[in-house]
A and B are shown apart, each in its own frame.
Chain A
Amino acid sequence: MLKRFLVIEARRLISRGVVKALLVLPVAPVVVALLLRGRYLHVFENLRSIGIDTTRLWLVALGASPKGLGNVMSYAAGLVSGMALLNIANFAWLVSVIFAAYVFAADVSSGRLSLLVTRPVSRAGIVFSKIVAAYIVLLALFLEAGLAAYASFYIMAGQQSMPWLIPVYALVAAASSLPMLLATGVIGLRSGKSGSTIAAGLVIYFVLSLATSLLVTLPYLRAGDLQKTIEVSAYANAAEPIHSFMLPRLVLDAATSGLGANYTTFSIATSIPLKTLLLLSAASTTIAIIGLALAAAKYFERLDLRIP
């Protein structure tokens, strides 16, 4: 029966207009690449002719640190940053908040959740079906985003390397979106309002981001080293906040630069080695997913569905 709930939930999510739009959006970088191809092809050809590696640009568009690319970035920083802005992978936090609104809040207010609860399935089963269904759709979305990043730079800069990172990245990115989805999902269950859920998600994200900046700069601020504080603050702003959304970037950095290098801005700012950061982030994300999933299930077990 749970398998049926899972199938229905995944189909339901894909049938929503906003999710359909999100699934189409990753194509945007490919379209832009086709338009810009003529303008940039010779730039990258020149770079390659002088022995510069241009095969990892697609990873930067997904969120990998550009520092490892050195010379290439000085020539193509604008292009790569622009392509990164177009890539939905860099808005994973927003995607997960939108998913939470549709997976949980909209189902409460539409009365659908009441219909589901009166079927022969446990409440925990309903929550876990929803989480797994959301993960599957997120996985499809990030696979698409990875393919789009790869394809777009293949079109503009020629052969790209490490295509095997596409599924690895998608698996990690989808998983790292779950903590935010679950945290806002519980709010959605409580409020039954999509708008409030999205607003709460935005607040959570920005509070976490602010907390990250404070956490990183506080030691230097306490030591009275203003110059270092400003420098680190700039790094911290450039880096992802210290929550699960950092994990996919760290994976990309680790894969491209080797675990010994500190290409990640956050790693440089905090002087924490990339390997340690990766392990910390993976552990905290796993704990967050399990903890929040259990908390959501527990909360839903005791929740009164008074609408309708």
Chain B
Amino acid sequence: MEVLVVRGLRKRYGRVVAVDSLSLSVGRGVHGLVGPNGSGKTTTLKSIVGLIVPDEGEIVFRGEDLLGPRGWRLRGLIGYVAEVPVLPGDYSVAELLEELGFLEGFDRLSARSAARRALEEVGLEGLAGRRVRGLSKGERKRLYFAQALLRPRELYVLDEPFSGLDPEAVALARDLVARLGRGASVLLSSHLLREVEELASSVTIIYRGRVLYSGGLDGLAKASGGGLVAEISVDRVEEAARLLSGEGYSVRLSGSKLVVEIGSREEAARVVSLLSSKGFLVYESRLRGTSLEEAYMRLIASAARGGGGA
């Protein structure tokens, strides 16, 4: 069942169309939102959480129009983490969370314990008394995360939640997103396509404000025109790549591996045989579907050339 449905969203800033007729649906679990810088991801997310007022379109959450006159009543069910964690510096960490908790309906005592719990979840419990202006960028990002966790939400809107975090905090945030996705809906915008692929079951790819693809990860290969991929570890990898290119295969290098697009399992066996017959030493070969990154690159390249999306 869809928790969030966005239909025909459009937003202009002067002459620039940031988002154009954008539609997407988010069900239970994690839904990725990916696209190049300036493609309209943040505008879309800010429209959903009420920070930006779209020019046209409909945002339906739990069957109710978020842009309607009573849409604000549902905002307590949506948690939002901004890409840039700008927070009022003169509050202490605990004061800020307690105030926001109070505004969400907690009494003073419950707001305090909700703030403490949220800080524990993001690993900031030791900084409760510190002024926000004294926090590092990564700590502010975690604090922004904490305010979204003050109460369980039905939808979490996360705009680049991993940016500005150290590796340890990225791991913590990744686990947190995975956990949130098990009990609620998460709309996750990120440039880290591997993280998105690992966490999300569906994805929307946007480019210049328009949707190129929106749907399950399993449908990406077909939509992007990709199919199976053989990853082959081989000696003299560049020479092997030239050979396969000469034979008409689409080949690229990934570290010391060849990544070859193929049509079937049998074709993979033929490629390995060809390499062996030409004297190359094949150490390992693995068959897999098209990755999010490959589909993304293919779709974006096609759109940039003027092709349509799926």
> Which of B76, B89, B99, B103 has the most C-beta atoms of chain A within 10 angstroms of its own C-beta?
B103
Report if A114 contacts B (CB, 8 A). yes
Report if A5 contacts B (CB, 8 A). yes
One of B52, B72, B88 near A111 (C-beta < 8 A): B88
Report if A50 contacts B (CB, 8 A). no
For chain B residues 8-57, which have a beta carbon within 8 Å of chain A? 46, 49-53
CB proximity of B84 to chain A, nearest CB, Å: 4
One of A1, A5, A8, A304 near B51 (C-beta < 8 A): A304
Known contacts A304-B53, A305-B51; A114/B86 CB under 8 A: yes
Pairwise interchain contact B76-A120, C-beta atoms closer than 8 A? yes
Residues of B near A8 (CB, < 8 A) are 99, 102-103
One of B51, B102, B104 near A114 (C-beta < 8 A): B51
Residues of B near A117 (CB, < 8 A) are 50-51
User: How many A-B residue pairs lie within 8 Å, measured between CB atoms?
Assistant: 76
Residues of B near A123 (CB, < 8 A) are 72
Cα A114 to Cα B99 in complex, Å, equals 14
Pairwise interchain contact B86-A111, C-beta atoms closer than 8 A? yes
Interface string of A93-127 (1 = CB under 8 A from B): 00000000000000100111011111111110100
CB proximity of B187 to chain A, nearest CB, Å: 14
Pairwise interchain contact B86-A1, C-beta atoms closer than 8 A? no
Report if B105 contacts A (CB, 8 A). yes
Smallest Cβ-Cβ distance to A7: which chain B residue:
B102
Q: Considering only CB atoms and an 8 Å cut-off, how many residues of chain A contact the other chain?
A: 28
Report if A308 contacts B (CB, 8 A). yes
Smallest Cβ-Cβ distance to A5: which chain B residue:
B103
CB proximity of A137 to chain B, nearest CB, Å: 17
Pairwise interchain contact A112-B82, C-beta atoms closer than 8 A? no
Smallest Cβ-Cβ distance to B75: which chain A residue:
A120
Pairwise interchain contact A308-B84, C-beta atoms closer than 8 A? yes
Pairwise interchain contact A307-B103, C-beta atoms closer than 8 A? no
CB proximity of B42 to chain A, nearest CB, Å: 9
Pairwise interchain contact A119-B100, C-beta atoms closer than 8 A? yes
> Which of B72, B75, B78 has the most C-beta atoms of chain A within 10 angstroms of its own C-beta?
B72
One of B80, B89, B105 near A118 (C-beta < 8 A): B80
Residues of A near B88 (CB, < 8 A) are 107, 110-112, 115
Known contacts A118-B49, A304-B51; A4/B102 CB under 8 A: yes
Report if A225 contacts B (CB, 8 A). no
Cα A306 to Cα B50 in complex, Å, equals 11
Report if B147 contacts A (CB, 8 A). yes
Pairwise interchain contact A110-B103, C-beta atoms closer than 8 A? no
Pairwise interchain contact B82-A308, C-beta atoms closer than 8 A? yes
For chain A residues 228-273, which have a beta carbon within 8 Å of chain B? none
Smallest Cβ-Cβ distance to B50: which chain A residue:
A117
Pairwise interchain contact A120-B104, C-beta atoms closer than 8 A? yes
Residues of A near B103 (CB, < 8 A) are 1, 4-5, 8, 116, 119, 121
Report if A303 contacts B (CB, 8 A). yes
Interface string of B59-97 (1 = CB under 8 A from A): 000000000000011111010101111111110000000
Residues of A near B80 (CB, < 8 A) are 118
Residues of B near A111 (CB, < 8 A) are 82, 85-88
Smallest Cβ-Cβ distance to B99: which chain A residue:
A8
Residues of B near A15 (CB, < 8 A) are 90
Cα A114 to Cα B52 in complex, Å, equals 10
Cα A12 to Cα B88 in complex, Å, equals 11
Smallest Cβ-Cβ distance to A1: which chain B residue:
B105
Residues of B near A301 (CB, < 8 A) are 53
One of B49, B72, B85, B99 near A308 (C-beta < 8 A): B85
Known contacts A301-B53, A302-B53, A305-B52; A118/B86 CB under 8 A: no
Residues of A near B89 (CB, < 8 A) are 110
Residues of B near A112 (CB, < 8 A) are 87-88
CB proximity of A178 to chain B, nearest CB, Å: 24
For chain B residues 209-228, which have a beta carbon within 8 Å of chain A? none
Residues of A near B72 (CB, < 8 A) are 120-123, 125
Residues of A near B73 (CB, < 8 A) are 120
Smallest Cβ-Cβ distance to B70: which chain A residue:
A122
CB proximity of A301 to chain B, nearest CB, Å: 7
Cα A207 to Cα B54 in complex, Å, equals 36
Cα A193 to Cα B99 in complex, Å, equals 23
Cα A110 to Cα B78 in complex, Å, equals 22
CB proximity of B92 to chain A, nearest CB, Å: 12
CB proximity of A141 to chain B, nearest CB, Å: 21
Residues of B near A114 (CB, < 8 A) are 51, 82, 86
Cα A1 to Cα B76 in complex, Å, equals 12
For chain A residues 258-308, which have a beta carbon within 8 Å of chain B? 301-308
Residues of A near B87 (CB, < 8 A) are 110-112, 115
Cα A123 to Cα B67 in complex, Å, equals 12
Residues of B near A107 (CB, < 8 A) are 88
Cα A117 to Cα B53 in complex, Å, equals 12
Residues of A near B83 (CB, < 8 A) are 308
5 cross-chain pairs, A with B, having the tightest CB-CB distances, nearest first: A308-B86, A111-B86, A120-B76, A110-B88, A308-B84
Known A111-B86, A306-B52, A308-B85; further 5 A-B contacts with Cβ < 8 A: A1-B103, A110-B88, A111-B82, A118-B51, A302-B53
Provide 26 A-B residue pairs closer than 8 Å at the C-beta atoms, listed in order of the A residue: A1-B103, A8-B99, A8-B103, A15-B90, A110-B87, A110-B90, A112-B88, A114-B86, A115-B87, A115-B88, A115-B100, A115-B147, A116-B103, A117-B51, A119-B76, A119-B104, A120-B72, A120-B104, A121-B75, A125-B72, A301-B53, A302-B53, A304-B53, A305-B46, A306-B46, A307-B86
